[in-house]
Amino acid sequence: MKTVMADTPPCVTDTFGRDCFTLPILRQYATEKVHEALTATIRDGRPLASDIADQIANAMKKWAMEKGATHFTHWFQPLTGATAEKHDAFLAPDPNGGVMACFTGRDLIQGEPDASSFPSGGLRATFEARGFTAWDPTSPAFVVNAGTPLAVLCIPCVFYGRNGETLDGKVPLLRSQAALEKQLRRVAALFEITGEVRPHATLGVEQEYFLVDRALYDARPDLVLCGRTLYGRIPARHQQMEDHYFGRVPPRVLAYMADVDAALWRLGVPVKTRHNEVSPAQFEIAPVYEEQNLAVDHNLLTMQVLRDTAERHGFVCLPHEKPFAGVNGSGKHNNWSLVGPDGRNWLSPGATPHENAKFLFVLTAVLKAVDERAALLRASISSAANDRRLGGNEAPPVVMSVYLGEQLDDIIAQIAAGGQLACRDSGQVETGIPALPVLPRDASDRNRTSPFAFTGDKFEFRAVGSGQSCAWPNTVLNLAVASALDDLCATLEARLPAQRQPRDANGHTAVFHSALQDVLREAIKLHGRVVFSGDGYSSEWAEEAKRRGLPNLTDTPAALEALVDPATVRLFETYGVLTERELRSRHTVHQEAWERTILMEGHCALDLARTFLLPAVLAWEEQLAAMVAAVKPMEIIGRASPSRRLLYEHMVDQTEKFQKAINDLDEALADPEPAPSRVVAAVNQVRTFADALESVVPNQTWPLPCYGKLFFR
């Protein structure tokens, strides 16, 4: 019987990329010569001639104005972790005293936003205001709010200082990609792999987020100011029934998700998956894999669309890593892989022994990278928010380990031991890497407690925080793997003879196979300690990780020390990604952000406790006192009065403790140089008593919307 395939919904095929200035769009607005020039720039990095840039700018302006754009902006990524933009109108005076639409090649290629107020970690003095943006042609321009009076042409850019200082997340990412590309070409040469594709990393970012009702959000100053709740008692029902995950999407949320999808499709973002996450009011959106730089830009754009669309639906989108205590936090699952010049995914087990040998070589490099740069990878995902998330409620632990699954665990153990190799599914095979059996995809389960897990054809870096940009974690990951590949390639190259040897059907010699197996065995024996397939939450693993010598960096300040480690400085300088001064600036930026977040939350917690919670607590205490005093003498003998009196006495006791905790927090914050650890402890103590009081103060008296309303309304 013939199967009738349903047509793809028009909303996808007809509108995808409509608001994105791609190469096919350029072809409609410019000559073939201009199209070829930009294609060469994107593909090969060739510079654009000024006349070509003018023609591209004119085409882009015409296209954007047809979509209603009146302004353009250089869309860049300062060290705040968010995006930044300054809007300029398509206006210039004409000779007749009027105005005309104008957008030149210079406007397209370079901008000059004020750089003085962006964090620089000491790279720039406050009075040194000049900063520059430069167009990144590998990431297409796009129009937001197309067809409305709010339409703006956004041009993805890098951001740097007057003397060339790197002030953003995109420049290091692009440089790390170049370093990785060089080493992938080296691997291709060793394995005699050819092709026309530029080697690169791919990325697919699963984005988790919470939605809360706008009215309830407005009634929670902690959510408004800090992005998370500083107070809140866990309700009787939360995520323990395990019925929200992949459950039916509520109609109001589904309407929101549909609008998000439609907006992102128009912007060329290939979002594919949407579903309920584990906690009530928590959801996820995930795209198809893309080239890494574009995927990072698209994730930042996704976060922007999630927030903007929420406003129109009466929601607020919370990308914070831990907005609610006691339930799951939110992360970005950073699905990372590699594509070689043959256009194939090099982290996908192959169909031939030769392909599997290359796969195991790359896999070993990743193990080496995670082991050698574990502290640096931990530093790349550090923040005050992520510190609260990591290690609990399905978030991975802070100890960096790699999950491979039973089959790959067994194979690398055999390689480390030497001798014959066997696959659990295929029986005994001949000696040597070329004789490895076919390694099927998805041959193992997944491990949700692993921070860095192999999932069949990619590695999932699960520790990245939901609110942060993926640029910095991927910069570190690219560079760590590039360095590991560099070392392994150099070791293998040194063991191969200069003279030509008899070759097998794959073009390799027996000497090559023997040397390759030796290199893999030595590397796995040295770095296999990072492989762990058990429960990452268990106390036994913490002890085992300590015995293995794996770093356990529990907070951001401890993790950030990796950025100024001499080995890190050598790594970044060797591959031309950042100078020591630029690395130290990032240490300062992240450290200051952590400290400022702690102090901001401390002041917010103090204000809320004094102006919202304490008045409500005292009001209820007065009502209890009045009820006790109103009891008639004859009723004192009865059973009602003692229960009221006990309730009142308990209330007085808890209120006194609450007031003392508030005073302790006030003292911690009043210190001329407040100690963040002391502030955190004081905030936690205030919360302990506040949440306990929430359970005895009537709902109509408690001034903050409770977790139950935030979760289920």
Looking at the fold, whether 121 and 269 belong to one and the same domain comes out as no
Q: For position 319, which CATH number holds? A: 3.30.590.10
pLDDT confidence tier of residue 489, bands split at 50, 70 and 90: very high
| Residue 2 pLDDT greater than 50, yes or no | no
Mean pLDDT, rounded, for 2-6: 41
Give the separation between CA 506 and CA 155, rounded to whole angstroms.
Answer: 46
Backbone φ and ψ for 436, nearest 5 degrees, come out as -60, 145
Are the C-beta atoms of 521 and 415 separated by less than 8 Å? yes
| pLDDT of res. 133 | 94
| Residue 259 pLDDT greater than 80, yes or no | yes
Closest C-alpha to 693, from 630, 634, 612? 612
Query: What b/e readout covers 274-294, taking b as 16+ CB neighbours within 10 angstroms?
Result: bebbbbbbbbbbbbebbbbbb
Higher pLDDT among residues 634 and 270, named by residue: 270
- R_g of the chain, CA atoms, integer Å: 29
Find tokens 């905030």 and name the residue: 683
Q: Which of 121-135, 194-208, 228-242, 300-314 is predicted with the least confidence, judged by mean pLDDT?
A: 121-135
Are the C-beta atoms of 594 and 557 separated by less than 8 Å? yes
Are the C-beta atoms of 393 and 328 separated by less than 8 Å? yes
Looking at the fold, whether 159 and 184 belong to one and the same domain comes out as no
Give the separation between CA 421 and CA 405, rounded to whole angstroms.
Answer: 17
Are the C-beta atoms of 324 and 454 separated by less than 8 Å? no
Looking at the fold, whether 164 and 183 belong to one and the same domain comes out as no
Looking at the fold, whether 151 and 182 belong to one and the same domain comes out as no
pLDDT confidence tier of residue 432, bands split at 50, 70 and 90: very low
In a domain, 220, yes or no: yes
| pLDDT of res. 88 | 95
| pLDDT of res. 223 | 98
| Residue 431 pLDDT greater than 50, yes or no | no
Residues contacting residue 448 through CB under 8 Å, at least 6 positions apart: 394, 396, 462
| pLDDT of res. 127 | 66
Residue that finishes a domain, picked among 141, 168, 195 = 168
The H-or-E segment that residue 307 falls in is helix 292-312
| pLDDT of res. 374 | 97
Residue range 208-241, pLDDT digits in tens: 999 999 999 999 999 999 999 999 999 998 988 8
Residue that finishes a domain, picked among 142, 168, 194 = 168
Q: How does DSSP assign 267-294, residue by residue?
A: TT--EEEEEE-SSTTEEEEEE--EEHHH
In a domain, 349, yes or no: yes
Residue that finishes a domain, picked among 114, 135, 168 = 168
Q: How many domains does the chain have?
A: 3
Looking at the fold, whether 151 and 186 belong to one and the same domain comes out as no
pLDDT confidence tier of residue 68, bands split at 50, 70 and 90: very high
In a domain, 583, yes or no: no
Looking at the fold, whether 546 and 615 belong to one and the same domain comes out as no
Antiparallel, parallel or unpaired: β 131-135 and 141-144: unpaired
| pLDDT of res. 427 | 44
Tokens of 530: 């990072």
Q: For position 102, which CATH number holds? A: 3.10.20.70
| pLDDT of res. 641 | 61
Sign for the CA dihedral angle at 304, 309, 314, 320 comes to: negative
CA torsion angle 210 215 219 224 (round to 10)? 50
Q: How does DSSP assign 215-229, residue by residue?
A: HHHHT-HHHHHHSS-
**Residue numbers of the domain that contains 660:** 596-712
Residue range 341-350, pLDDT digits in tens: 999 999 998 7
| Residue 642 pLDDT greater than 90, yes or no | no
Tokens of 683: 């905030």
Give the separation between CA 448 and CA 330, rounded to whole angstroms.
Answer: 13
In a domain, 2, yes or no: no
Q: For position 705, which CATH number holds? A: 1.20.120.1560
In a domain, 588, yes or no: no
Residue range 181-214, pLDDT digits in tens: 999 999 999 999 999 999 999 999 999 999 999 9
Higher pLDDT among residues 98 and 609, named by residue: 609
| pLDDT of res. 5 | 43
In a domain, 59, yes or no: yes
Looking at the fold, whether 545 and 467 belong to one and the same domain comes out as yes
Residues contacting residue 271 through CB under 8 Å, at least 6 positions apart: 260, 261, 264, 265, 285, 286, 287, 288, 302
| pLDDT of res. 418 | 80
Are the C-beta atoms of 255 and 247 separated by less than 8 Å? no
Give the separation between CA 585 and CA 620, rounded to whole angstroms.
Answer: 51
The H-or-E segment that residue 612 falls in is none
Looking at the fold, whether 470 and 503 belong to one and the same domain comes out as yes
| pLDDT of res. 253 | 97
Backbone φ and ψ for 474, nearest 5 degrees, come out as -75, -30
In a domain, 690, yes or no: yes
Looking at the fold, whether 362 and 467 belong to one and the same domain comes out as yes
Looking at the fold, whether 350 and 317 belong to one and the same domain comes out as yes
Looking at the fold, whether 558 and 666 belong to one and the same domain comes out as no
| pLDDT of res. 444 | 53
Looking at the fold, whether 200 and 161 belong to one and the same domain comes out as no
Give the separation between CA 266 and CA 253, rounded to whole angstroms.
Answer: 20
Are the C-beta atoms of 678 and 598 separated by less than 8 Å? no
Residue range 499-515, pLDDT digits in tens: 656 666 655 677 888 89
Residue range 19-55, pLDDT digits in tens: 999 999 999 999 999 999 999 998 887 888 889 999 9
Are the C-beta atoms of 605 and 687 separated by less than 8 Å? yes
| Residue 134 pLDDT greater than 50, yes or no | yes
In a domain, 51, yes or no: yes
Average confidence score pLDDT of the chain: 90
